[in-house]
Structure 1
Amino acid sequence: MPSSAFNIEHQSEQSRFIININDDAAVLEYQLLDNNILDFTRTYVPFRHRGQGHAEALVHAGLAWANNQGFTLQASCWYVDKFLKSDS
């Protein structure tokens, strides 16, 4: 599902992207490391909202932003790592 299907908010002060889902939130967290390296550290989608494309939309939005910023990317999060490996 395209990221445009969700209202994704970049909260740069908290180093994360979120989608608010009623009283819940799906989250993609990252950490800026030395030498302009951005590490995507965690994705989380509340159990009852899984399988609806939230995590994938967050990853696409996060990767697009990071690439626009010129960061070197890595992922300690296994889910984001799948996307990085598929792009190489």
Structure 2
Amino acid sequence: MTTTHKVTHNEQAGSFEVFVEGHRAHLDYRKVDDNTLDFCHTFVPNELRGKGLAAVVTAAALEYARDKGFEVIPSCSYVEVYLKREAGKA
């Protein structure tokens, strides 16, 4: 997915985030162990909904996990749906 939005990884907060028009959309995670991340929550404020930002932060988080060799637990329902949708494209 190409985007002009810059996603930042805020390790201290355990989130991937993007700021648009003064609002923050994010995907929160927790480290389960040295090999596993739990993607537990995505949030997009009402002002930014419908712009694909949940997909943008999810794609960035999944790319990070893949690059670092982490397994992912998709406990967030959005992340679970995103993964199923992407698997259907393969």
Report the TM-score when normalising by structure 1.
Answer: 0.88
Once the two structures are overlaid, the 10-residue window that deviates more, 28-37 or 70-79, is 28-37
RMSD between aligned residues: 1.6
Which position in structure 2 is the counterpart of 1:63?
62
Aligned to 1:5: 4
CA offset at residue 11 of structure 1? 0.6
Q: Secondary structure at the match of 2:67?
A: helix
* Deviation (angstroms), 1:84: 2.5
Matched pairs, number: 87
In 2, the alpha carbon distance for the partners of 1:10 and 1:25 equals 13
Give the distance between the partners of 2:30 and 2:69, measured in 1 at CA.
Answer: 15
Which ranges of structure 2 fall in alignment gaps of 5 or more residues?
none
1:29 & 1:48 partners in 2: Cα distance?
A: 19
Find the aligned partners of 1:69 and 1:3 in 2 and give their Cα distance.
Answer: 21
The list of structure 1 runs, each at least 4 consecutive aligned residues, that deviate by more than 4 angstroms after superposition, is none
- Percent same amino acid at aligned positions? 32
Task: Tell me, in whole angstroms, the C-alpha distance in 1 between the residues paired with 2:13 and 2:26.
Answer: 11
Q: Which runs of 5+ in 1 are unaligned?
A: none
Cα deviation code 1:21-78 (max 9, x no counterpart): 2221001111110251111011000012101011101000000000111011111100
The equivalent residue for 2:72 is 73
Counterparts of 1:85 and 1:74 in 2: how far apart (Å)?
13
Match of 2:36 in 1: 37
Q: TM-score, normalised by structure 2?
A: 0.86
Task: For 2:65, give the aligned amino acid.
Answer: A
Q: Distance in 1 between matches of 2:50 and 2:2?
A: 14
